[in-house]
Amino acid sequence: MKKYLLLLLVSLTSSLLSVFLYSRLVDTRRVVWENDDGEVRYTSLVDKLFNARSTSAFQSSAPTNFIEAAEIATPSVVNIRALQESGSGIWGSSTLTGSSGSGVILSPDGYIVTNHHVVERSTDIKVTLADKREYKAKLIGSDPSTDITLLKIDEGNLPFIVFGNSDSVRIGEWVLAVGNPFNLESTVTAGIISAKGRNINILGGGASIESFIQTDAAVNPGNSGGALVNTVGELIGINTAIITESGSYEGYSFAVPSNLVQKVIRDLREFGQVQRAYLGVSIQELDSETAREIGLPNAEGVYINRVTTNGAAQDAGLKIGDVILGLNTAHVKSPSELQEYIGRFRPGDQVSLDYWRSGKKYRIRITLKDINNSIAATRVRGDELEDDLGIELRDLSGDEQRKMRIQGVMVTSVRRGSVIYNTNMQPGFVISSVNGNRVSSAAEAIEAIKNAYNSLVLDGYYEGEPDLYSYRFKKDE
């Protein structure tokens, strides 16, 4: 009997000991908790033993809410209709052609940003708000090199959008495109950031800046000039282009980054034209073979293949063969990124530049200049080409545009014996394009002519004559 009692006592003691040890070592509750930093911890030792990532931090994944962003952005996006008189109808009457697109209200007093190509050559621009109110818009300024135009309507207390930081957007981040595709007002589509710093060679001209944000949000004709916003409703880009073979959306759309847009519209509002800063170099992609030859660990950077005489880069000591690695705090991976970053500054601004030379990395300060190697902000006078080419230019008045039914730049004088004089061009000629790129202001024409390497073709018209004239010449003749 004693043996049985002893056995029972041992069994009972073992059971109690097991329960005690289990309660101490193993918590059967399979509960998790999340601290203020979003870190999730397992409270069960079983989970610790069978979950190899028990000490890892987990971020909770909540569904992205597009509703608030759409409600913020939609009231500030407008429909734009741009009309232009063209051709002649019966008994000499004119016909109206036009384009439509979108725009974004930037301030409560009526400043609106859109694409240059939406309103190009237009003499009558109408803006329809999201609440159906319609206004006639005034053109404040336009920049073909970034495809950005600033308009103004006479109204106050308007809904407007707040700029976001386009540098901070990340590939894979959700975005919304808001616009008026096919005249379907206030349309919202969603997608993600597919790439940044994308150059698709659509703007043309040596001074163009293409460093687009690429998304897969659906963008169609009529979306141009509309808003690309993040999930908190901030403007991070102006929708500008698509790549398509059918003419409609086929998967990718492109937007001008908001940080570049802000700089352009500030210039247009203050000066009527963009104050472009230049580094004073010609650049190209850095290939892997060249990177290996100069000792760089990868091919991320921009190779300098020419340095402009008396330009900003030459003043700072940069040379052919140097590789630009960074600008201020930004890492530069491609020519399009470098052009965008430089495009945010004005002549006279100083930047910090990182570059690679002879196996070492260096940092210097550079004072940027304009295309004339000046550091002062300037307004176009019209005589900038007089010394080199012998012509002076001015903008067409509104009456001249309506009467001649064209947009362009008036040649006001031609100096005897100059390169232009030898082409037989006469004062009164209206230049409508430079090397095939259309121009609508003296600033655009002067910049396009200066950026051309040598050969130039100036197309245009004389008042009262329907024929197109073309004048071809070389700068160094």
Contact assessment for residue 305 and residue 282, using Cβ atoms and an 8 Å cutoff: yes
SS3 316: helix
Tokens of 343: 């495009």
CA distance 447 to 367: 21
Tokens of 203: 């703007």
Angle CA 396–124–381, to nearest 5: 25
CA distance 257 to 239: 9
CA distance 207 to 343: 10
In degrees and rounded to multiples of 5, residue 403 shows phi and psi of -70, -45
Contacts of 224 (CB under 8 A, 6+ apart): 101, 102, 114, 115, 117, 118, 179, 239, 240, 241
Reported residue count of the chain is 477
CA distance 280 to 100: 38
- Give, in order, the Cα–Cα distances in Å from 50 to each of 18, 21, 44: 21, 19, 10
CA distance 102 to 112: 10
Catalytic residue set: 117, 147, 224
Contact assessment for residue 112 and residue 141, using Cβ atoms and an 8 Å cutoff: no
- Give, in order, the Cα–Cα distances in Å from 386 to each of 35, 170, 391: 71, 47, 5
SS3 39: coil
Q: Report the largest interatomic distance among the alpha carbons of the chain, rounded to a whole angstrom.
A: 136
CA distance 367 to 407: 36
In degrees and rounded to multiples of 5, residue 288 shows phi and psi of -65, -35
Beta bridge partners of 455: 474
CA distance 452 to 273: 20
Contact assessment for residue 368 and residue 342, using Cβ atoms and an 8 Å cutoff: yes
